[in-house]
A = this chain, B = another copy of it.
């Protein structure tokens, strides 16, 4: 006697995409609030500062690639950072479409203030994990990233 097929079900709270999303949002929101409250910066502005600190004379397009932000988001974050004079723009001599971005002195100072706070927040998070667990987490995330987005490198 044929049985009615069991109804498909899905438990959201064990569904990996959901769990990842909720975890990531909880972490990001906490950090975003810190940057905003202490420095008036959005998370996008912070990311732009971080890659510009790492690679002075970077272009907006390359910032987009390194931060996974689309070009409109980069444009807006850059505009906001120039508004508060944390970033300055110089025209590229080889390609007049491109502009080269630099942190200003004020921008560097703020960056230097944020870095230890950001690292401390990361440390607080991973402090529950021992060294082996930390590297295992990184390895597993790497594998997921390759499957999630095989067409492009995520980082």
Q: A154 to chain B: which residues have CB within 8 Å?
A: 19, 22-23, 26
CB pair A115–B68 under 8 Å, yes or no, is no
* Interface residues on chain A, size class: 35 or more
The answer to whether A155 touches B19, judged by C-beta atoms less than 8 angstroms apart, is yes
Cβ of B148 and Cβ of A125 under 8 Å apart?
yes
A47–B18 contact, CB under 8 A? yes
Interface residues of A in 44-76 (CB under 8 A from B): 47, 50-51, 53-54, 66-68
Q: Which chain B positions have C-beta within 8 A of A93?
A: none
The one of B9, B119, B141 in contact with A54, judged by C-beta atoms closer than 8 angstroms, is B9
Question: Given the complex, which residues of B lie within 8 Å of A31, measured CB to CB?
Answer: 17
Q: Which residues of B contact A36 (CB under 8 A)?
A: none
When C-beta atoms are compared, the residue in chain B nearest to A155 turns out to be B13
A45 CB to nearest chain B CB (Å): 13
Quote the shortest CB–CB distance from A16 to chain B (angstroms): 5
Nearest first, the 4 A-B pairs at minimum CB distance are A24-B24, A8-B115, A13-B155, A20-B24
Interface CB pairs A-B, < 8 A, 8: A9-B53, A12-B50, A12-B54, A16-B126, A19-B154, A20-B141, A26-B148, A26-B154
